[in-house]
Amino acid sequence: MLATRAILIAGLALVLVPGALLAQSRPPVALTGIVTSDKEGAMEGVVVSAKRASGAVTISVATDDKGRFSFPSSKLEPGSYALSIRAVGYELDGPKTAEVPAAQTATADLKLGPTKNLAKQLSNAEWFASFPGTDQQKKALLNCVSCHNLDRIVRSQYDADQFMDVFNRMVGYYPGSTPEHPQRLVGNAQRQLGQGPGVRAMAEYLASVNASQETRSYQLQTLPRPKGRNNRYIVTEYDLPRKMIQPHDVVLDEQGIVWFSHFGEQFLGRFDPKTGKYSEFPIPVIKPGYPVGTLDLQLDKAGDVWIGMMYQAGIARFDKKTETFKVWSMPKEWQTDAAQTGHLEPTSTHVDGKVWVKNSDGSQIMRFDIKTEQWENLGAFSNPADGKRFGVYGIRADEQNNLYLLDFQTSNIGLIDAKTRQFTVARGNFPNSRPRRGAVDPQNRLWYAEYAGNAIGMYDPKTNQVKEWVLPTAWGQPYDAVADKNGEAWTGSMMSDRVSRLNPKTGDYVEYLLPKTTNIRRVFVDNTTTQVTFWTGSNHGASIVKVEPLD
C-alpha cells in the first residue's frame, strides 16, 4: 500500500458536524450586521470574512446596497470567530471578533477607516491600471506575474541593468519555485534572455515604476467595489496544512472528493470537504536531479486520476481503489533537459485507449497507448495559412478524442483529427489574445481563457468560428474557462481576484470578488449542486476555494 500522509484539518469537523436537533432549532441567519465608514456611510460590496478560532475554514459574504451582510446558520456553527474585511482603501476598525450563539442571530456592525498603506492592498490588476505607459508596455509584463505579485517589483529598488540580471536569473527557475523552496532548471532548460531591445525596454520600464525613483510618478488607481448581483455569493476557503502546498489543478470526483496537483512538490493531494480530512500521496520520482512538481490533473471515465509530471518528463495514473500509482516515462529518444510533460488529456481515452500528452520542449504532441504502453510523437503543428508553429499551452480532447490545441503565442485554436491527423485552425478576433486553457462542453465546443485578450473565447468546430466576450474588469488575465450545465461559462482572474460568470446569450457577466489575493489557475464547476458550485485552488495561498452563487 502506498504511504500517505493524512491530516484532519483543525476545527473543520466542529464546523461541519452539527447536531441534527440543534441545526433544526437555529435561526436561518447566524451572524449579520451593517458595514459603514465615515466617508461613505453604509458600504456596498465589502467582503466580510469569519474564521473560527484555531480553525482552518474561512466563510465570506459580501454586503448589499444597504451595507448589510448575513452569514447563514448552515455556514457558521456556534462559537468565537475572527472577523476581517476586503474593501480597497479601508481597514477594519472594529469589532474584529464575534460570538455566534446557539439559538439566536448575532449582530456585529462593522466600522471601517481609511487604510494607512493603500499600496499594500492593490491587486495586480490595480497596479496595471495605476502604471503609466501603453497597454503594450504593460502586457510585456504578463509573463512576470504568474509566479508573484507586482508588489514585489514595485517595492524593489533595481535599476534597468539590475533588472536585466534578475530576468536572466528568474528564467532559470522552475515555475513552481517559491522563495522558501527554489528549484533550478537543469542544463539546457536554463536559458538567457539576452540584451535584445524588447527585453531592455521592459527593464527600463520596470525601473521607471518601482522604488528606484525618489517619488512615485503616478497615482494609485483602485477598482470599484462590486454592486448588485455581484455580491450574492458565499465563499468557503479551506486552508491546507502546509504553506508550501501550491494547489494548481483542482477537480471534484463523483463522490465530491477534491483532488489537486502540487505545483512545487511531488505529491497528489486529496481533500474531503465534508470531513476535513486531507491526504497526500507521494508520486515516484523518475528523473532524479530534475525539478519536482506537477501541473495538469484530469479524471478519466473510470474515475482514475491522471497527472502531468512537468520536468520529471512522464505521466502518472493513480488508482483510487488501491491508492497506487502507475508511472510512464517519456521515451529516451525525446528526453532532453527541457522535456516537460505538464499537460495531458485522458478524458476520452475510452474511445481509442490513447492519452494525449504535450511535451513543451518544441511544442510536441504525443499519444500514449495505455494497453501497449507505446508512445507516438506527432511532432509540432503549424498554421497552414502562414507556416508559423503553434506555441501550445493547453490541450483538451473532444468526445471522439480529437484534440484541441491552444496557441499561447497568437490567437489561434487548432484541432487534430485523431484518425486522419488532419489539422484545422481557427483564429479569434482579438490580436495576440494568447489562448491558455479551457474545457470542452457536450456539444464539442471548446470554451477557453484568453490570457492577453482578457476574455472568454468559445470555438465551435461545426462552424469553425470563434466567439469572444471581454471581461468587465480590466487586467483580469484569465487562465482557464469552463461551461456549466446551464450553458454559462466561468473563469477566474490571475490578477484581479475575481471569479467571472458569463451568460453567453446576453453577454452579461457576474463577477465575485474573493476575500484575499488568489492566484487562480485551473477552474472547475460542480454541476451536481442546485446552483452550480465553482472550485479553484489558491496557488499562492495554500488553500482550496469554493464559490457558491446565491442566484
DSSP 168-193: HHHTTB-TT--SSS--B--GGG----
What letter represents residue 287's amino acid?
A: K
Q: Are 75 and 28 in contact (CB under 8 A)?
A: no
CA distance 267 to 249: 13
Angle between helices 197-209 and 160-170 (to 10 degrees): 120
Residue 14: what pLDDT?
44
Secondary structure (3-state) at 225: coil
Residue 24: what pLDDT?
54
Cβ neighbours of 88 (radius 10 Å): 16
Residue 498: what pLDDT?
98
The phi, psi pair for 206, rounded to 5°, reads -65, -40
Q: Are 397 and 440 in contact (CB under 8 A)?
A: yes
List strands edge to edge, sheet with 5-8.
Answer: 5-8, 277-282, 267-271, 258-262, 247-252
Q: Which of 156, 190, 177 is nearest to 264 (CA)?
A: 177
CA distance 332 to 329: 8
CA distance 519 to 247: 10
Q: Which of 199, 130, 122, 125 is nearest to 160 (CA)?
A: 199
CA distance 150 to 477: 14
Mean pLDDT per segment of 10 residues, for the chain of length 551 residues?
59 46 72 98 98 95 98 97 98 97 96 97 97 94 85 94 93 90 93 80 95 91 98 98 96 97 98 97 98 98 97 98 97 97 97 98 98 98 96 98 98 97 96 97 98 98 96 97 98 97 98 96 97 96 97 96
Residue 508: what pLDDT?
98
Residue 148: what pLDDT?
82
pTM: 0.95
Residue 178: what pLDDT?
86
What distance, in Å, lies between the first and last C-alpha atoms of the chain?
A: 45
